[in-house]
């Protein structure tokens, strides 16, 4: 349980947060400059609030009234900043073991190294590896320290799409077993929906939205059209078989089947896939004589968005988001509970690996 009442003022900005987190992974979402990184710095002890109180599992980390301010090294918090800071003069392995508490960390070294795809880098100086690899090293070091709370500040920023989503599937695996309470800062809705079970929406230094990740769509006054640019559906599917002739992978999602165009030679039994919300088409009747390989029956569960762009949530075995214009929604008379057909090309579905199958992507580490 994390309880926050934080007040911090700068010349042109004020952070004013009063909230509680009891979710396992809480997504901290908001536009640039909204106060997300400042919030994490206050919790970690790198920045002292002007007033307020911070409590973690009943222990007081900061109290402005009594002037209590627990030192950073006693807070048992793993903090991974945006740039993934490492000790560049040490090897990757020395970085990972630097703050390890063998008697307190529930995470074992070797399985974590395999999950983060760092096995081939252990002897390399940390200053010679890529930015994406440095972030994975920083994450591993934080996890091995036995934290009571993990703070991740936009760990995917600057990574290309493939590496970003592969890193996201790694995070999902390492944070769930054992469960480590986490605050995950991002400005990308898709990451929050895939990874988190709670959300704080922050705007101009204030938490304006608390609850399930899908509640982000209930606040069009601060959810802008630009936030839809990277809106993708990330979901797991069961692999049924592979066609060697046309490179199509046949997968099952709920009761529906999907065809996925992929070059994977050794597909796992379960795979994580992504499809962009704008690459999905809705139809009120079953289409005929079309080239798209996937036509799924679904039911509309919600319609949310901004005055110009709407997201239609459709249950096809998993809940997909479909980006439509307001005119399209009105002309089709889309409403909650309506049966629809969901159409998507096999080439529009993007394999991003599986949390339980690492070897097919290990040679692509960035």
What is the mean pLDDT of the segment spanning 223-228?
Answer: 65
pLDDT at 363: 30
Among 349, 340, 154, smallest CA distance to 235 is for 349
In the chain, where does the domain assigned CATH 2.40.50.100 lie? 232-353
Q: Which two tokens stand for residue 347?
A: 């080439």
- Report the share of the chain in percent with pLDDT over 90: 55
Q: Could you read off the pLDDT of 114-153 as tens digits, one per residue?
A: 888 899 999 999 999 988 889 889 989 998 888 999 999 9
In 30-109, the DSSP E strands lie at 51-56, 59-63, 68-69, 77-80
pLDDT band at 185 (very low <50, low <70, confident <90, very high): very high
Its CATH class, for the domain covering 232-353, is mainly beta
CA–CA separation, 146 and 73 (whole Å): 12
Q: Could you read off the pLDDT of 322-356 as tens digits, one per residue?
A: 999 999 999 999 999 999 999 999 999 988 865 44
Q: Which two tokens stand for residue 146?
A: 């036995």
Q: Could you read off the pLDDT of 30-76 as tens digits, one per residue?
A: 888 899 999 999 999 999 999 999 999 999 999 999 999 999 999 99
Q: Could you read off the pLDDT of 274-321 as tens digits, one per residue?
A: 999 999 999 999 999 999 999 999 999 999 887 778 899 999 999 999
In the chain, where does the domain assigned CATH 3.40.50.300 lie? 2-222
Which CATH number is associated with domain 2-222?
3.40.50.300
């Amino acid at each position: 349980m994390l309880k926050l009442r934080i007040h911090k003022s700068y010349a042109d900005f004020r952070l004013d947060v009063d909230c509680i987190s009891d979710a396992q992974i809480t997504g901290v979402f908001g536009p640039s400059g909204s106060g997300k990184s400042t919030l994490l710095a206050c919790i970690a002890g790198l920045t002292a609030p002007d007033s307020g109180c911070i409590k973690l599992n009943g222990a007081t980390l900061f109290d402005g009234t009594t002037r209590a301010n627990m030192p950073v090294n006693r807070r048992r918090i793993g903090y991974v900043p945006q740039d993934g800071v490492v000790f560049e003069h040490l090897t990757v392995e020395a970085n990972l073991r630097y703050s390890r508490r063998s008697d307190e960390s529930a995470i074992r070294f070797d399985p974590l190294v395999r999950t983060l795809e760092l096995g081939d880098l252990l002897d390399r100086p940390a200053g010679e590896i890529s930015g994406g690899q440095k972030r994975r090293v920083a994450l591993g070091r934080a996890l091995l320290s036995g934290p009571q709370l993990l703070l991740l500040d936009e760990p995917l920023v600057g990574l290309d799409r493939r590496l970003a989503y592969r890193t996201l599937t790694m995070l999902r695996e390492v944070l769930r077993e054992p469960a480590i309470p986490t605050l995950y800062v991002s400005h990308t809705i898709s990451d929050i929906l895939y990874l988190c079970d709670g959300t704080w929406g922050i705007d101009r230094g204030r938490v304006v939205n608390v609850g399930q990740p899908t509640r982000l769509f209930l606040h069009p006054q601060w959810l802008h059209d630009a936030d839809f640019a990277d809106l993708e559906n990330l979901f797991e599917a069961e692999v049924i078989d592979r066609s060697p002739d046309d490179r199509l992978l046949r997968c099952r999602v709920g009761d529906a089947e999907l065809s996925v165009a992929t070059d994977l030679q050794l597909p796992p039994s379960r795979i994580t896939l992504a499809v962009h919300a704008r690459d999905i088409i809705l139809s009120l009747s079953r289409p005929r004589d079309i080239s798209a390989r996937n036509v799924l029956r679904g039911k509309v569960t919600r319609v949310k968005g901004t005055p110009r762009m709407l997201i239609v949530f459709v249950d096809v075995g998993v809940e997909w988001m479909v980006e439509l214009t307001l005119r399209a929604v009105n002309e089709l008379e889309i409403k909650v509970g309506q049966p629809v057909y969901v159409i998507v090309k096999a080439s529009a579905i993007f394999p991003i690996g599986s949390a339980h199958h690492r070897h097919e992507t290990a040679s692509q580490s960035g």
